[in-house]
């Protein structure tokens, strides 16, 4: 089972939920975990209209009652996404569409930056080509989220000269147009990569040479087929990441912040 969701808790028990996973994993994994930790979700942020990432979003509205919802696109052909769009504005909730170059605060030490959004006019494109590329600025660290964006998105960002540099890169897998090119990796220049992996369908698997490529570049990594969920903790000058299943731990220091 792969769960496409992330939770940011910049301080206290309020949080941002970034994607929800599909309907089953939201109700069986994400929601119980949030309730166990008494986490109140103030913002729901969606990456792209793929049911594997946002299938639990409509249920999340009632179960979590977020104050703000951030949409990757205004329109999509996905029935799941259309149902979510109809339900999102209820209960006085603030609903906003992400805009390239925009940003929003999510606590005293964290800010989301919108690096790129998909072309709104291409509403019938495949979901993985409509990913919002986000960068989280947290206690002086930069964490890039590309979700399932593939080669076409990476190419567009490079051609635009976009700043995609980050200390940590969290990436998924485009099913038909996989990215993770050497050129984009060089532009991000991460010290740590967290990459999702699923055995089925085969398109969700990480390439066999993935570890070797990162090792040759001196980049630490988490292969989520081994690690499962990864917990990242950040403070000024220090960032730690640990896998839930394998217990693997990576620590990064920022000498400039010491």
* Overall average pLDDT of the 62-77 stretch: 96
Per-residue pLDDT reduced to its tens digit, 127-141 = 999 999 999 999 999
Mean pLDDT of the region 199-215: 86
Model confidence at 2: pLDDT above 80 = no
For 81-100, write each residue's pLDDT tens digit: 999 999 999 999 999 999 99
**pLDDT tens across 12-67, in order?**
678 999 999 999 999 999 999 999 999 999 999 999 999 999 999 999 999 999 99
139-160 pLDDT per residue, tens: 999 999 999 999 999 999 999 9
Residue whose pair of structure tokens reads 């055995």 in the numeric block: 199
Do residues 81 and 49 touch, judged by C-beta distance below 8 A?
yes
Residue of 60, 61, 58, 84 lying closest to 73 (CA atoms):
84
**How far is residue 243 CA from its own chain's centroid?**
16
Q: Rounded distance, CA 223 to CA 170, Å?
A: 11
Residue 229 CA to residue 227 CA, distance in Å, equals 6
Rounded to the nearest integer, the mean pLDDT of the chain is 93
Q: Is the peptide bond before 189 cis (omega within 30 degrees of 0)?
A: no
Quote the pLDDT of residue 207. Answer: 87
The whole-number pLDDT of residue 254 equals 82
What is the reported pLDDT for 233? Answer: 96
Do 3 and 25 form a contact (C-beta atoms < 8 A)? yes
Query: Domains of the chain (ranges plus CATH)?
Result: 1-99 (3.60.15.10), 140-258 (3.50.50)
Q: pLDDT tens-digit profile of 97-124?
A: 999 999 999 888 899 999 999 999 888 8
3-state helix, strand and coil shares in percent for the chain, rounded to the nearest 5: 30, 30, 40
Q: What are phi and psi of 253, to 5 degrees?
A: -120, 150
pLDDT at position 26: 96
Are 142 and 135 in contact, with CB atoms under 8 Å apart?
yes
pLDDT of the residue at 4: 85
Phi and psi, residue 5, nearest 5°: -160, 150
Q: By C-alpha distance, which of 78, 72, 85, 150 is closest to 116?
A: 72
Band the pLDDT of 258: cuts 50, 70, 90: very low
* 86-110 CB burial, b ≥16 within 10 A, e <16: ebbeeeeeeeeebeeeeeeebbebb
Q: Tell whether the model's pLDDT for residue 1 goes beyond 50.
A: no
Question: Is the model's pLDDT at 229 over the cut of 90?
Answer: yes
């Amino acid at each position: 089972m792969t769960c496409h969701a992330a939770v940011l808790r910049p301080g206290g028990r309020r949080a941002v939920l970034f994607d929800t996973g599909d309907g089953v994993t939201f109700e069986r994994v994400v929601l119980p975990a949030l309730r166990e930790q008494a986490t109140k979700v103030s913002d729901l942020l969606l990456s792209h209209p793929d049911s594997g990432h946002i299938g639990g979003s409509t249920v999340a509205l009632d179960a979590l009652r977020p104050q703000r919802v951030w949409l990757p696109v205004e329109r999509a052909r996905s029935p799941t996404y259309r149902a979510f769009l109809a339900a999102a504005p209820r209960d006085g909730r603030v609903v906003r569409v992400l805009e390239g170059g925009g940003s929003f605060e999510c606590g005293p030490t964290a800010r989301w930056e919108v690096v790129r959004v998909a072309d709104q006019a291409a509403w019938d494109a495949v979901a993985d080509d409509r990913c919002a590329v986000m960068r989280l600025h947290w206690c002086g660290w930069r964490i890039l989220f590309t979700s399932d964006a593939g080669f076409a998105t990476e190419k567009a960002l490079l051609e635009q000269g976009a700043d995609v540099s980050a200390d940590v890169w969290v990436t998924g897998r485009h099913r038909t147009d996989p990215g993770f090119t050497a050129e984009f990796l060089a532009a991000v220049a991460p010290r740590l990569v967290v990459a999702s992996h699923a055995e089925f369908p085969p398109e969700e698997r990480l390439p066999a040479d993935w570890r070797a490529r990162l090792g040759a570049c001196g980049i630490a990594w988490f292969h989520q087929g081994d690690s499962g969920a990864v917990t990242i903790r950040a403070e000024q000058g220090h960032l730690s990441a640990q896998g839930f299943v394998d217990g693997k731990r990576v620590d990064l220091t920022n000498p400039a912040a010491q």
